[in-house]
Amino acid sequence: MPPSSVPAPHRRLVLASANRGKLAEFRHLLAGAPFELTSLGELNLASPDETGTTFLDNALLKARHAARASGNPALADDSGLEVDALGGAPGVYSARFAGPQADDAANNAKLITELCALGPQRAAQPWRARYRCVLAMVLEADDPAPLIAEGVWEGVIVTAPLGSGGFGYDPHFWLPQWGMTAAQLPVDQKNRLSHRGAALRALQARLWARAKW
């Protein structure tokens, strides 16, 4: 086989997360990409404290940490739910809304409890909300030119959880135009519609170019 036809070996790209659901979603979104996607969780590396006050702050913090800890290029997202009736909360605290060690069930329970506790005018359903995702990709921890992209997904919050797919607040994130929650969507459809899919499409051309490290 001539050298020009030998496929380039895949380079490892580390997702700055220990969340298995998020890793599975990114692997699906990045199917066919010219790199091997793994995660901090799979590498048994600790995740950093998310001390940023914005999604961008946290995405960059996590990407640089993952690159430093693994010695590989890294991709991070910081994403969360913004509910208008709660002034944009839980926002950057979405993953730990009910506490540092909270799971999805605890976070969802707190979300619905807080919404139902609002005064009569603000407690009226539907509660407008959106998922927001900011992606950051670095070649190394001190990369001076990180790739950044953002995506938003509009919906409303419903009190009764519906569906068993997805993760996070998906069972309560209702999509009026589709007549179902994010947790009820087939994977392919969710990836076409989601905040994470939108952000990754915005990043994709530059991300593929960077795969030729």
Active site residues: 78
Neighbours of 10 (CB within 10 A): 12
Instruction: State the chain's maximal CA–CA distance in angstroms.
Output: 73
* Distances, alpha carbon 108 to alpha carbons 49, 117, 194, in Å: 22, 14, 19
Let me know: does 165 contact 185? Beta carbons within 8 Å.
Answer: yes
> What tokens were used for 136?
């950051």
Let me know: does 163 contact 182? Beta carbons within 8 Å.
Answer: yes
